[in-house]
């Protein structure tokens, strides 16, 4: 009789702890993402819970690709204030062709990116990355081109969107980030 009670207690505690974890982690951050040109995965909740995030769909062969340098500056400016830029390379607009290795070279070697870059993924339609599906649903808008920017507050809510043409270091964007920190 005692082992059954012990087992039931363990199951109850496990269910409660799973519920508690999901209750403390915003739904938008539940899941894992593979890092660019790597087999390593990042648990979004563990890594980004409680942080303000700028999620950007990137492309290595786009006219906006030089924004990677400003995104890195933005990341460095605010990273000590619970902020992170997260890049998601995508070929949905046909400007991230070639291998993930090539995309990684552009990001890491050509532009010196240190913020998290996830594996190449789709950001549109039924094959969209679950994070982008959730972002698009919350924001009421999907990326219209490469380097579309979504600002997510520390509670996992999309609070602002910025088109590709918005410079990452623009006062329009940085002032809203600062309000969220």
Report the catalytic residues.
Answer: 62
Burial-class residue 35 by CB neighbours within 10 Å (0-12, 13-18, 19+): middle
Q: What is the DSSP string of 67-111?
A: HHHHHHHHHHHHGGGSEEEEEEE--TTS-S-S-HHHHHIIIIIIS
What is each CA distance from 27 to 12, 106, 130, 158, in whole angstroms? 22, 31, 11, 12
Residue 131: name the closest of 113, 154, 152 by CA: 152
d(CA 37, CA 78): 26
Residue 64: name the closest of 148, 177, 161 by CA: 148
d(CA 133, CA 170): 26
């Amino acid at each position: 009789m005692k082992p059954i009670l012990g087992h039931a207690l363990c199951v109850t505690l496990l269910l409660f702890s799973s519920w508690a974890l999901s209750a403390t982690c915003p739904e938008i951050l539940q899941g894992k993402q593979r890092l660019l040109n790597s087999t390593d995965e990042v648990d979004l909740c563990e890594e980004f819970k409680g942080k303000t995030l700028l999620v950007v769909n990137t492309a290595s062969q786009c006219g906006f690709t030089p924004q990677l340098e400003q995104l890195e500056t933005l990341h460095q400016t605010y990273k000590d204030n619970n902020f992170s830029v997260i890049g998601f390379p995508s070929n949905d607009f046909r400007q991230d062709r070639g291998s993930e290795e090539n995309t990684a070279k552009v990001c890491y070697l050509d532009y010196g990116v240190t913020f998290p870059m996830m594996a190449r993924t789709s950001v549109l339609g039924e094959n969209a990355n679950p994070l982008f599906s959730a972002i698009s649903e919350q924001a009421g808008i999907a990326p219209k081109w490469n380097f579309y920017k979504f600002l997510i507050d520390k509670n996992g809510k999309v609070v602002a969107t910025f088109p590709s043409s918005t410079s990452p270091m623009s006062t329009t964007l940085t002032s809203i980030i600062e309000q969220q920190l």
